[in-house]
Chain A
Amino acid sequence: MIWQLDFLLLLFVVICALAAINLKDLLSAVIILGAFSFFMCLLWTEMGAIDVAFTEASVATAVSTLLFVGAICKTTRRSKD
């Protein structure tokens, strides 16, 4: 484990999470949530949990992003709150 790399990835994870919460544009929030999942995947890999990283990369980055985009297309793109 390289703590500098861990720290950098964790910093990106926190930045992506805060950005995804605070954005008003839900499509941008979904894309940033995909970036969050990707950094989580790198973090799992760095910590040695290859299987979890595999699941995170395939489910969270690909399929759930697509489902979120489909849900946004069924409703609205802008958040009201």
Chain B
Amino acid sequence: MLTRVYDNLIVQTVCRVMIPFIQIYALYVIAHGHYSPGGGFQGGVILTAALALIFLAYGQEPAARRMNRRQASMLCAAGVAIYAGIGLYCLLAGGNFLDYSMLAPLLHVSVPRARSLGILGVEVGVGLAVMTAMYSIILDIAGNHEDESDSDPESCSTPKPGSIS
């Protein structure tokens, strides 16, 4: 399992310094997704990388204190709801699904500006959903489940002789 708690000062300090910059960069990627390369998916994956860095450097407990499985699932649903909500609002306002020009009367802006803001809202929803979905996948694969007690701290470095391949 990847659940052994490392007390490595260098790794923890480097992660503590790097994680805010990684998250700011991810927010930049999400916010500039409609001007430049990047977008919701890439920014969400970079946010996941920051959470996974906490998971690797500090262990599962500090990572779960920042976001546990339940919060991850709820935020994932919230991200999907943002995406689908913007699309369905445009559908109900008389346009096609994700037709952002229908957001213009709601936001009191011009139609090109409404299209830009609509893409930004969709990117935020996609980023939230991708971050939390990937984080729950990482927790499921690498995390220690509560009902399991077979945490072998050396299983990553030394293969067990009788284990099934």
A interface residue numbers (CB < 8 A to B): 50-51, 53-55, 58-59, 62-63, 66-67, 69-80
Indicate if B2 sits at the interface (CB-CB under 8 A).
yes
Give the dominant DSSP class at A's interface.
helix
Would you give the shortest CB distance from B23 to chain A, in whole angstroms?
13
B38 cross-chain contacts in A, Cβ below 8 A: 51, 54
B134 cross-chain contacts in A, Cβ below 8 A: 63
The number of residue pairs between A and B whose CB atoms lie closer than 8 Å in the complex comes to 64
- Rank and list the top 7 A-B pairs by shortest CB-CB distance, nearest first: A70-B142, A50-B37, A70-B141, A58-B45, A62-B49, A51-B37, A80-B165
* Contact between chains at A63 and B49 (CB < 8 Å): yes
* Contact between chains at A58 and B165 (CB < 8 Å): no
A55 cross-chain contacts in B, Cβ below 8 A: 41-42, 45
* Contact between chains at A71 and B42 (CB < 8 Å): no
